[in-house]
Amino acid sequence: MRRIIGLTGTALVALSCNEGLAPVRADALKPIVITQPTPHDTDDPAIWINPIDSSKSLIVGTDKDSDGGLFAYDLDGNIVNKVTGLKRPNNVDIAYGLQYGDALIDVAVLTERENNQIRIFRLPDLTAIDNGGIPVFEGEEEKAPMGIALYTRKADSAIFAIVGRKSGPQDGYLWQYRLDGSTGTATATVVRRFGKYSGKKEIEAIAVDNELGYVYYSDEGVGVRKYHADPDAGNDGELALFAQGAVKDDHEGIAIYKSSDSTGYILVSNQQANTFIVYPREGFQGKPHQHELLAEVPVSTVECDGADVTAVNLGGLYPKGLFVAMSNGMTFHYYNWQDFQSWIDAGKY
């Protein structure tokens, strides 16, 4: 762990310039904590809230390599647990209350690209409960799973995994699976194929808003697409395509900050500019699918692939929540949400 309160940012700027990466802006927000590095290449984080003591919450994140892993960090950025030997784990997400035998458990679910499967681990101990993995995109020529987001349906607490891939068809790019662990081994059943794809680059970043029932994903170089998350809501097509022309090159990680059950922000990584572009979660002037740009927040995180955020009071340095982002250099950066909020309130671009 490196706590870097008061850092000028010079070292981070030098890192990005020396490696030919996007430079960090002079006015960029500084992370409060930089985690211990992983062996290879960090890719995507997710936040697990400890239900007994939120100050003991964890950040889980993937280390993307053929000999990769899933790492768990405390709020000081120390590695406290890990699973290694995974074949290019890509993105990870968390859900609460999966039926597992006679108990309800929390899980972290990730894509394992080189094995064309997803992996499911119990939290907080990171014990595998999937008998070695669950194949995805079966019967398809184009597999290589990358993005993943978990959706918990309010009506019945059913949990679904929405999975993206390196490449795929122009329609039905995403596959949605219902997760079940009632037998004591986690399984996944396909319930829907949906989602448009431009064919330009790839779709990696996926995020779900459980309370409002929407799924968002980044069609890199095009924009952010929005659909209903509930497979029973009907495939009535794309609800929105926004953030078009708002990024320097690639649309990447998506995080949703929830000020209430229905308000907050959608934050999207503007990867090659080292910023996050911010949109209203609830839409604009009563139009829930009209997402207008509110602000662009420069960060010290270098070429971010994935991010997550929570509004929960985690105590200490994070009374209004924590924002975490992957950064080049095999680390994750933790930010105090209040720093983000100050920039958003100023309406800066």
Using the predicted structure, report yes or no on whether residue 9 has a pLDDT greater than 50. Answer: no
SS (H, E, C) 69-105: EEEEECCCCCEEEEEEEECCEEEEEEEEEEEECCEEE
pLDDT at 177: 98
- One-letter amino acid identity for 340? F
For the chain, domain boundaries: 2-346
Using the predicted structure, report yes or no on whether residue 126 has a pLDDT greater than 90. Answer: yes
**Residue 342 phi, psi dihedral angles, 5° rounding:** -60, -40
pLDDT at 326: 95
pLDDT at 349: 62
Q: What is the mean pLDDT of residues 148-156?
A: 97
Using the predicted structure, report yes or no on whether residue 8 has a pLDDT greater than 80. Answer: no
pLDDT at 165: 95
Cβ atoms of residues 136 and 155 within 8 Å? no
C-alpha closest to that of 304 among 270, 349, 256: 270
**pTM greater than 0.85:** yes
Give me the architecture of the 2-346 domain, per CATH: 6 Propeller (2.120)
The DSSP element (H or E) to which 63 belongs, if any, is strand 58-63
Cis peptide before 124 (omega within 30 of 0): yes
User: Using 50, 70 and 90 to split pLDDT, how confident is the model at 250?
Assistant: confident
CA-CA-CA-CA dihedral for 288, 294, 299, 302, to nearest 10: 60
The DSSP element (H or E) to which 257 belongs, if any, is strand 251-258
pLDDT at 271: 87
Per-residue pLDDT tens for 291-326? 999 999 999 999 888 999 999 999 999 999 999 999
